[in-house]
Amino acid sequence: MEKNKNLIISNPPNGVAGIKAIVVSMQQIAKRMSFFKAFKILQKLNQKNGTDCPGCAWPDPSHRSRLGEFCENGIKAIAEEAMDKKADPKFFSNNSIEELKKQSDYWLGQQGRLTHPMLLSSNNTHYTPISWNKAYKLIGDSLNALNSPNEATFYTSGRTSNEAAFLYQLFVRMFGTNNLPDCSNMCHESSGAALYNTVGIGKGSVTLNDLYKAELILIFGQNPATNHPRMLVALEKAKKKGAKIVSINPLKEAGLVNFKNPQTAKGLVGNGTKISDLYLQLKINEDVALLKAVMYKLFKKSASDSTILDSDFIKNNTIKFEAFKNEILSNNFDELVERTGLDITEINELIDLIVPRKKIIACWGMGLTQHVNGIDNIQEVVNLLLMKGSIGKEGAGTCPVRGHSNVQGDRTMGIAERPSKQLLEKISENFGFSPPTQNGLSVVESIEAMHKEKVKVFIAMGGNFLSAAPDTNYTTEALSKCDLTVHISTKLNRSHLAHGKMGLILPSMGRTDKLVKNGKEQFVTVENSMGVVHSSKGKLTPPSLQVESEPIIVANIAKATLKKSKVDWDFLTNDYGNIRDLIDKTIAGFENYNERVKNPVGFDLPNGARTGNFTTPTKKAKFTINKLSENNQKKDEFIMMTIRSHDQFNTTVYGLDDRYRGIYNGRMVVFMNPNDINNHNLEKGSIVSLYNNYNNKKREVSGFSVVPYNIPKGCLATYFPEANPLVPLELTAHISHTPSSKSVKVKIRK
Ligand SMILES: Nc1nc2c(c(=O)[nH]1)N[C@H]1C(S)=C(S)[C@@H](COP(=O)(O)OP(=O)(O)OC[C@H]3O[C@@H](n4cnc5c(=O)[nH]c(N)nc54)[C@H](O)[C@@H]3O)O[C@H]1N2
Ligand SMILES: Nc1nc2c(c(=O)[nH]1)N[C@H]1C(S)=C(S)[C@@H](COP(=O)(O)OP(=O)(O)OC[C@H]3O[C@@H](n4cnc5c(=O)[nH]c(N)nc54)[C@H](O)[C@@H]3O)O[C@H]1N2
Ligand SMILES: [Mo]
């Protein structure tokens, strides 16, 4: 078969950022908006009292760079959200659904901001304009026609503000269901569940200040140069203060090798900072084996050196230590090492770094959470920290690096399909109704229920459910079986094309849009990855007068649906401070919300694990026993991870390059070890199909170009969402139900 002539495969660089990052950012802006508009928003981006970057959830330092407190990918997020082009009613009349389906995700995104509410009525070929009032009535009537509130499901993506999220969950519970799946289900759910079980809070424990004080930082399964670029600034600072950094990742990610800080003059012209002191390229999903091997050796060494483990901490602050220790020592060390694919000397180097240090931070991303044993991965990381007494004190602790800019806040506001008893009690107390107590549906469960026609109305507050979810073909079928699908969105995406019998697109404001209500400029609030809550105010004129804010859309859906409601929805949306007053009364940690959020740097939410006051039932942290991954890869099978390129934000594709991996002008690629390429009689650029047969269902994608890459043998990497048709819906993590999109077994053929 012919090769893809447009695709350029080159050697990945030895480091990231520098002047090139600034050049690329400027090009992205030039393509999408005027420099005047860009300047207006960028000078306020992530500044105190400014606009929170809609991109990732990395926190802002207390001192903000005057050169600009943002990164290349933040600029791309802004340029994409605030682009001048518009997908208006004329665009929809010129393009049928069938025509739009043929276009790429990149093309769909480049058509511009949505400007008007649009309806796809039964059997129509095009979306056509509908008034807001008619749209709200259609939603209210459709919800009220259901046999039970559980026949509707209400998705949330992590850019939604605290105010919108709080109103949304309140409305959904007043309507009568806990069907509140959200993007966390596909993301850090495993972190939340594992941390809650072991240290009593489903969030990370560290602050930026802790990172600067750490002696050792372990980075598992994360690619910060692309996904949290400003984390590299913090890592550089930590290094300057003496921290050692270890990266544990099957891929050699350039940003974890060397970083030239574009926020400093030195970073622009100098050699940059070496980030990782040690880089362990283990096989996909063998983190538990590595951790067990390390802890095995720590126990052996501690027999003759009592300073290695923190015995006082273990004795006073933890439970189940003996059982854990026995399990670790029951392993065969050599077998563990063998599984990792690493050399024993590399593992010994890691052990040598851990032995003398007590202030250890573990950071992680999707490389740990998106596996069947996602919870085991994270609990095993916690075990290591507990052994060393590395939690609940300065410079030490857990650092799950969250995805969307407010994904953590949405959960705090009650977007949860399995809500806590406390939350339901507070809602009942404050709003005079009994919220449903039965657990609701997660993302995967919602897809199954839609497919079985048990859920008939699907409503999404942001996101791109279809492209983000696993098993694309099955999920398309599931959505198309609904009576009504509703998307509250800023931009056109593939989910709008996988509509139910009727489909609605409701155009929403984004983080950069300015909102004035009754002559008063409104702001919203968000929570970053380290539990700091702060305000965010948009600066730009919204793309059309028809575009509405998320809280107002929720309030109007509630008014059109709920026959009697004790909540005065108009009062709440007349001034967002009124919503915050309700949050203040309902959600723990938000006392005096409106006052405290006036602080330009925001305020910290309570975090027991941070101070060593574990909020578990026993008030102690818990050691756990965790399973190794199921290691039954057949001879011709590969384990495939699905990851992000440098030019995308989840399903939003900014461009076709992945500069830090040497790929230009194409996304349909499969990264492969050169030995595997030879053994399969393939070569650089060969076009292949990837397929599997999980649960006797045939799944296949084709047209992928082979890229020789520094990746362990037997492992592959592809981009999400292109490879999502291969991710089996049923293959999910224990307890958290997170799709296992980092360990998909596949076979390859020409
Ligand atoms: N620009 C940009 N920023 C983003 C996003 C984006 O798409 N674009 N997405 C946002 C969201 S929602 C999220 S959740 C985060 C995602 O941020 P990341 O978690 O950094 O995202 P991934 O690209 O999925 O990369 C996961 C990393 O895990 C590694 N990995 C895969 N399998 C394993 C394994 O078994 N073990 C180990 N140790 N490593 C493994 C991969 O090589 C890769 O480096 O970023 C957020 N920020
Ligand atoms: N195979 C595979 N699948 C994955 C992953 C993976 O690593 N591999 N990662 C998973 C992860 S970590 C996540 S978080 C999910 C992401 O899943 P989602 O959160 O569903 O996806 P996004 O791509 O972030 O959503 C983009 C859309 O959100 C809308 N949008 C953007 N900003 C706003 C806003 O301010 N308001 C509103 N109302 N709408 C807005 C736009 O219309 C845009 O098209 O994907 C998951 N899927
Ligand atoms: Mo995510």
pLDDT tens sequence across 20-33: 888 888 888 888 88
Least confident range from 267-271, 309-313, 561-565, 584-588: namely 267-271
pLDDT at 94: 98
**226 CB near ligand 1 (under 6 Å):** yes
Can you say how many angstroms the Cα of residue 356 is from the centroid of all Cα atoms in its chain? 34
Residues with CB under 5 A from ligand 3 (ion): 187, 403
What is the spatial distance between Cα 591 and Cα 583, in angstroms, rounded to a whole number?
8
Q: What would the CATH number be for the domain defined by 189-400?
A: 3.40.228.10
Atom index in ligand 1 nearest the CA of residue 407 equals: 12
What percent of the chain shows pLDDT beyond 70?
100
**186 CB near ligand 2 (under 6 Å):** yes
Residue 337 — φ and ψ, nearest 5°?
A: -60, -45
Stretch 73-97: mean pLDDT: 94
Kindly identify the ligand whose nearest atom is closest to the C-alpha of 460: 2
Q: Take residue 85 and report the two structure tokens written for it.
A: 């082009």
Q: Take residue 689 and report the two structure tokens written for it.
A: 């199909």
Higher pLDDT, 46 or 298: 298
Selection from 426, 496, 507, 424 nearest residue 458 by Cα: 496
Ligand 3 centroid distance, CA of 450 (Å): 23
Ligand 1 centroid distance, CA of 282 (Å): 16
Q: For residue 68, what pLDDT band results from cuts at 50, 70 and 90?
A: confident
What is the spatial distance between Cα 536 and Cα 559, in angstroms, rounded to a whole number?
27
What is the tens place of the pLDDT at every residue in 465-489?
999 999 999 999 999 999 999 999 9
Q: For residue 517, what pLDDT band results from cuts at 50, 70 and 90?
A: confident
**740 CB near ligand 2 (under 6 Å):** no
Can you say how many angstroms the Cα of residue 41 is from the centroid of all Cα atoms in its chain? 24
What is the tens place of the pLDDT at every residue in 551-604?
999 999 999 999 888 899 999 999 999 999 999 999 999 999 999 999 999 999
pLDDT at 664: 97
**366 CB near ligand 2 (under 6 Å):** yes
- Indicate the SS3 state at residue 323: helix
Instruction: Kindly tell me if the per-residue pLDDT of 519 is higher than 90.
Output: no
pLDDT at 597: 96
Instruction: Kindly tell me if the per-residue pLDDT of 15 is higher than 90.
Output: no
Q: Take residue 147 and report the two structure tokens written for it.
A: 């046999």
What own/partner pairs with CB < 8 Å and gap ≥ 24 does 610-615 have?
610/205, 610/206, 610/207, 610/392, 610/397, 611/392, 612/317, 612/391, 612/392, 612/393, 613/392, 614/199, 614/200, 614/317, 614/392, 615/200, 615/201
For residue 164, give every residue at least 6 positions away whose Cβ sits within 8 Å of its Cβ, in sequence order, or none: 461, 524, 549, 550, 551, 554
Domain boundaries, the chain: 15-81, 86-187+406-598, 189-400
Selection from 181, 77, 2 nearest residue 688 by Cα: 2
Atom index in ligand 1 nearest the CA of residue 251 equals: 42
Higher pLDDT, 655 or 25: 655
Instruction: Report the half-sphere exposure of 441 (CA within 13 A, side-chain side).
Output: 21
Instruction: Kindly tell me if the per-residue pLDDT of 43 is higher than 90.
Output: no
What percent of the chain shows pLDDT beyond 90?
87
| DSSP tag of 591 | T
pLDDT at 41: 79
CA dihedral 526, 528, 531, 537 (to 10 degrees): -30
Q: Are 139 and 504 in contact (CB under 8 A)?
A: yes
Instruction: Kindly tell me if the per-residue pLDDT of 369 is higher than 70.
Output: yes
**365 CB near ligand 2 (under 6 Å):** no
């030039």: which residue's tokens?
A: 30
Q: For residue 646, what pLDDT band results from cuts at 50, 70 and 90?
A: very high
Atom index in ligand 2 nearest the CA of residue 651 equals: 23
Atom 27, ligand 2: residue with shortest CA distance: 463
**175 CB near ligand 1 (under 6 Å):** no
The count of other CB atoms within 10 Å of the CB of residue 322 is 9
Beta strands in 404-468 (DSSP E): 457-461
Atom 40, ligand 2: residue with shortest CA distance: 462
What is the spatial distance between Cα 549 and Cα 589, in angstroms, rounded to a whole number?
26
pLDDT at 123: 86
For residue 588, give every residue at least 6 positions away whose Cβ sits within 8 Å of its Cβ, in sequence order, or none: 422, 606
Selection from 691, 688, 682, 699 nearest residue 638 by Cα: 691
Instruction: Kindly tell me if the per-residue pLDDT of 269 is higher than 80.
Output: no
Can you say how many angstroms the Cα of residue 587 is from the centroid of all Cα atoms in its chain? 23
Residue 306 — φ and ψ, nearest 5°?
A: -75, -5
Higher pLDDT, 68 or 396: 396
Confidence (pTM): 0.97
**160 CB near ligand 1 (under 6 Å):** no
Ligand 2 centroid distance, CA of 628 (Å): 30
């699907």: which residue's tokens?
A: 458
From residue 373, alpha-carbon distances to 1, 346, 735 in Å are 38, 24, 9
Stretch 270-283: mean pLDDT: 93
Q: Is 685 left (phi over 0), alpha (psi -120 to 50) or beta?
A: left
What is the tens place of the pLDDT at every residue in 409-451?
999 999 999 999 999 999 999 999 999 999 999 999 999 999 9
| DSSP tag of 304 | T
Residue 91's H or E segment, with its range, is helix 89-94
Instruction: Kindly tell me if the per-residue pLDDT of 268 is higher than 80.
Output: no
Ligand 2 centroid distance, CA of 183 (Å): 7
Instruction: Report the half-sphere exposure of 462 (CA within 13 A, side-chain side).
Output: 27
Least confident range from 140-149, 306-315, 503-512, 628-637: namely 628-637
pLDDT averaged over the chain?
95
Q: Domain 86-187+406-598, CATH 3.40.50.740 — does that match?
A: yes
Ligand 3 centroid distance, CA of 463 (Å): 11
What is the spatial distance between Cα 275 and Cα 242, in angstroms, rounded to a whole number?
12
The three-state DSSP-derived secondary structure of 535-577 is: EECCCECCCCCCCECHHHHHHHHHHHHCCCCCCCHHHHHHCHH
What is the spatial distance between Cα 18 and Cα 568, in angstroms, rounded to a whole number?
52
**719 CB near ligand 1 (under 6 Å):** no
Apex 467 CA angle, 462 and 470, nearest 5 = 120
pLDDT at 326: 98
pLDDT at 1: 63
CA dihedral 367, 370, 375, 379 (to 10 degrees): 10
Least confident range from 180-189, 258-267, 307-316, 690-699: namely 258-267
Residue 416 — φ and ψ, nearest 5°?
A: -160, 130
Atom index in ligand 1 nearest the CA of residue 158 equals: 12
pLDDT at 131: 98
């199954």: which residue's tokens?
A: 448
**468 CB near ligand 2 (under 6 Å):** yes
Tell me if domain 86-187+406-598 and domain 189-400 are identical in fold.
no
Can you say how many angstroms the Cα of residue 416 is from the centroid of all Cα atoms in its chain? 15
Residue 314 — φ and ψ, nearest 5°?
A: -60, -45
What is the spatial distance between Cα 520 and Cα 641, in angstroms, rounded to a whole number?
48
Apex 8 CA angle, 72 and 725, nearest 5 = 80
Stretch 42-47: mean pLDDT: 83
Q: Take residue 671 and report the two structure tokens written for it.
A: 């990264």
